[in-house]
């Protein structure tokens, strides 16, 4: 009899939680006592919705989910943690984990110098927006007519808009060239028709694109690629 009562109350509690909490606040913290600020690649992946958000370097994270969602916490170099969301009485699901980095086995890496890589590196370094800056500060006092013209001229606004679009196109073109090379050397496994979706997911900082070393770019893209695969 007690067994059936326990089952009844358990079922009642779960049903009550599902009915009361349309949105559940998932929040928590991962702790590595040896590396307290090592979670730069922490990602909270909702396998149910196919979406994900990044956590903070100190291990804190939060996201809104729904009851029953399948959640994975993914951090490069650490084991993955899987959860099924079941809200508490406050419509929250709290996670606190003490974790340790996985043992690493370093493989030999052969870096092949490619002329194409050098060309792309030069393109990255030279990436700059066409000079369409507004006249400001002392220049505005020295040339008030020019300042007013640039501020209100439809032609000047169109010039700036065109320059911005060309700049964005240049960024995308350079990243696509990099991805094509990485695909040749099996760093990533993507078809060219998947590049646009992956570039949007990368959301690469323009300064990083211009100044990062080849190794920094490879590691950045490789890490984001692994997270991208989890959402496909």
Is residue 199 domain-resident?
Answer: yes
β-pairing verdict for 70-74 and 51-54: unpaired
Rounded percentage of the chain residues whose pLDDT exceeds 70: 69
Q: 192-229 pLDDT, tens per residue?
A: 899 999 999 988 888 888 888 888 888 889 988 988 88
Q: Looking at the structure, do residues 94 and 169 belong to the same domain, yes or no?
A: no
Mean pLDDT in the chain?
A: 77
Round to whole Å and give the CA distance between 73 and 29: 11
Residue 133: is its pLDDT beyond 90? no
Number of domains in the chain: 2
Q: Looking at the structure, do residues 93 and 123 belong to the same domain, yes or no?
A: no
What totals of helices (H) and strands (E) does the chain contain, helices first? 8, 7
Q: 151-186 pLDDT, tens per residue?
A: 556 666 676 677 677 777 888 888 888 898 888 888
Region 107-111: what's the mean pLDDT? 58
Q: Looking at the structure, do residues 135 and 203 belong to the same domain, yes or no?
A: yes
Q: Domain of residue 33: give its range.
A: 21-98
Q: Looking at the structure, do residues 93 and 119 belong to the same domain, yes or no?
A: no
Is residue 212 domain-resident?
Answer: yes
Q: Looking at the structure, do residues 125 and 71 belong to the same domain, yes or no?
A: no
Round to whole Å and give the CA distance between 157 and 136: 16
Q: 12-47 pLDDT, tens per residue?
A: 445 544 457 889 999 999 998 887 777 777 889 999
Is residue 11 domain-resident?
Answer: no
β-pairing verdict for 60-65 and 92-98: unpaired
Q: Looking at the structure, do residues 123 and 225 belong to the same domain, yes or no?
A: yes
Predicted local confidence at residue 56, as pLDDT = 87
Residue 69: is its pLDDT beyond 90? yes
Is the pTM above the cut of 0.95? Answer: no
Round to whole Å and give the CA distance between 23 and 46: 14
Region 82-108: what's the mean pLDDT? 86
Predicted local confidence at residue 85, as pLDDT = 95
Round to whole Å and give the CA distance between 181 and 123: 15
Q: Is the dihedral of CA 173, 175, 181, 186 positive or negative?
A: negative
Model confidence at 88, pLDDT cuts 50, 70, 90, reads very high
Predicted local confidence at residue 138, as pLDDT = 43
Is residue 5 domain-resident?
Answer: no
Q: Looking at the structure, do residues 89 and 56 belong to the same domain, yes or no?
A: yes
Location of structure tokens 């929250």: 92
Q: Looking at the structure, do residues 126 and 89 belong to the same domain, yes or no?
A: no
Structure token pair of residue 44 = 């909270």
Q: Which residue has the higher pLDDT, 81 or 127?
A: 81
Predicted local confidence at residue 38, as pLDDT = 72
Count of Cβ atoms closer than 10 Å to residue 129 Cβ:
14
Is residue 147 domain-resident?
Answer: yes
């Amino acid at each position: 009899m007690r067994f059936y009562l326990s089952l009844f109350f358990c079922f009642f509690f779960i049903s009550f939680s599902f009915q009361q909490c349309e949105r559940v606040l998932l929040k928590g913290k991962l702790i590595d006592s040896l590396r307290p600020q090592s979670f730069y690649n922490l990602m909270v992946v909702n396998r149910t919705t196919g979406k994900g958000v990044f956590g903070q370097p100190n291990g804190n994270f939060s996201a809104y989910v729904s009851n029953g969602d399948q959640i994975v916490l993914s951090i490069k170099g650490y084991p993955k943690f899987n959860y099924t969301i079941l809200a508490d009485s406050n419509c929250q699901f709290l996670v606190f984990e003490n974790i340790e980095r996985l043992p690493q086995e370093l493989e030999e890496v052969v870096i092949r110098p490619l002329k194409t890589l050098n060309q792309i590196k030069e393109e990255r370094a030279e990436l700059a927006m066409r000079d369409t800056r507004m006249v400001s500060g002392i220049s505005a006092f020295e040339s008030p007519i020019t300042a007013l013209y640039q501020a209100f001229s439809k032609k000047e606004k169109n010039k700036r808009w065109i320059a911005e679009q060309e700049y964005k196109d240049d960024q995308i073109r350079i990243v696509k060239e990099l991805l094509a090379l990485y695909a040749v050397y099996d760093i990533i496994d993507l078809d060219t028709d998947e590049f646009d979706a992956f570039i949007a997911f990368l959301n690469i900082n323009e300064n990083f694109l211009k100044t990062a070393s080849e190794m920094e770019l490879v590691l950045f893209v490789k890490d984001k690629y692994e997270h991208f695969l989890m959402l496909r």
